[in-house]
Amino acid sequence: MTHRPERLAEMIREELMDLIAGELRDPRVGLAQVTEVKLAPDLHMAHVFVSVMGDQREAKATLEGLIAARGFLRAALAPRLQLRQVPELRFELDRSEELAARLDQLLQRDRKRHSDL
């Protein structure tokens, strides 16, 4: 069994982090961190999960900036990764931190409720 998709996904994640931090000049893109890249089995599509510092408005603007920069980012990835075919990039907000915080809040509320009984 090959681990190429996982290695390639991690390489894409690292290179996108460098490109977003150093070369992307879109003012809409704020403090964004690529948290995960999931590649389709055929390696033609990469789902890029991004965590954004700030409120919902800033997250939406950053996502719009990244979507607008897809062509630039794909073109910049090709020589860095030495790929003939760079996967199509699909950016999505990573909501795992929000979900974890909400789950923690619910668990604390449940613990408090049970301790009051």
At 10 the pLDDT is 96
Q: Are strands 88-93 and 32-39 parallel, antiparallel or unpaired?
A: unpaired
At 40 the pLDDT is 94
Token pair of 85, please? 């075919």
Can you give the pTM of this predicted structure?
A: 0.80
Token pair of 116, please? 């009051």
Secondary structure, 3-state, the chain: CCCHHHHHHHHHHHHHHHHHHHCCCCCCCCCEEEEEEEECCCCCEEEEEEEECCCHHHHHHHHHHHHHCHHHHHHHHHHHHCCCCCCEEEEEECCHHHHHHHHHHHHHHHHHHHHCC
At 99 the pLDDT is 67
Assign residue 85 a region: left if phi > 0, alpha if psi is -120 to 50, beta otherwise? beta
User: How far apart are alpha carbons 15 and 23 in whole angstroms?
Assistant: 11
At 1 the pLDDT is 46
At 109 the pLDDT is 84
Per-residue pLDDT of the chain (117 residues; tens, 9 = 90+): 467 889 999 999 999 999 999 998 898 998 899 999 999 999 999 999 999 888 889 999 999 999 999 999 999 999 999 988 999 999 999 877 766 777 778 888 888 887 776
Q: Which domains, ranges and CATH numbers included, belong to the chain? A: 4-115 (3.30.300.20)
Amino acid in position 17: M
